[in-house]
Amino acid sequence: MIRYLSFILLFLSVVSPRVSGAEEAFTYYSVVMLQTEKVFEERLGSVDTLSVYVKGIVDAAEAAVKPLPKGPPAKGFIVIAVKPGDRSRVWLDIKDPISKEAATALESAAAKVVPVSVKGGTLLFAIKVGLWGGESPSEMIPRPEAWRAEAEKAGRFIEYSELVDRVWQD
């Protein structure tokens, strides 16, 4: 538990929310861990590297959206999975309509950031974001469309790690 609290405190000090005015193209709100503390500890190794990785994604996403034409306020998640071998995959779960150009820019920017190294399985987390003044999503966890479709196809509850393995086959 002490290690976990240290993780959270360090993480918050490195990647603090950038809450700003309505005219901002991109706002970072928080990180949502989609697995247990134990899984993060086993697969991650170093908290510092995750903080740097998340900051890289936030900076890349902000830079990608900033030059785009202003859209209506939107909120949602950038969802990231990282597999051993420095492989990552990005999904968006944006609650409000955004342009195809904005969606592609966000996904592409996040995917280009060199992922954190993990071991023993896939690491899953999401970043709560707002676009063009969008507020922080009220939902606690993301549900990207590809994940929803796979869960519906299965017809039962599927744990996130299994769901991602079904959607992201390599």
Indicate whether 10 pLDDT > 50: no
Residue 95 is predicted with a pLDDT of 87
* Residue 159: strand, helix, or coil: coil
Indicate whether 127 pLDDT > 60: yes
CA distance 63 to 142: 23
Across residues 55-71, what is the average pLDDT?
96
Indicate whether 50 pLDDT > 50: yes
Across residues 101-113, what is the average pLDDT?
97
Q: Which of 15-19, 40-44, 57-61 has the lowest mean pLDDT?
A: 15-19
Q: Between 156 and 113, whose confidence is greater?
A: 113
Report the percentage of the chain scoring pLDDT > 90.
Answer: 59
> Alpha helices, DSSP H only, in 30-159?
37-44, 47-65, 100-112, 145-154
Indicate whether 47 pLDDT > 80: no
- Closest by Cα among 31, 24, 32 to 56: 31
Residue 45 is predicted with a pLDDT of 78
Q: Average pLDDT, whole number, for the chain?
A: 86
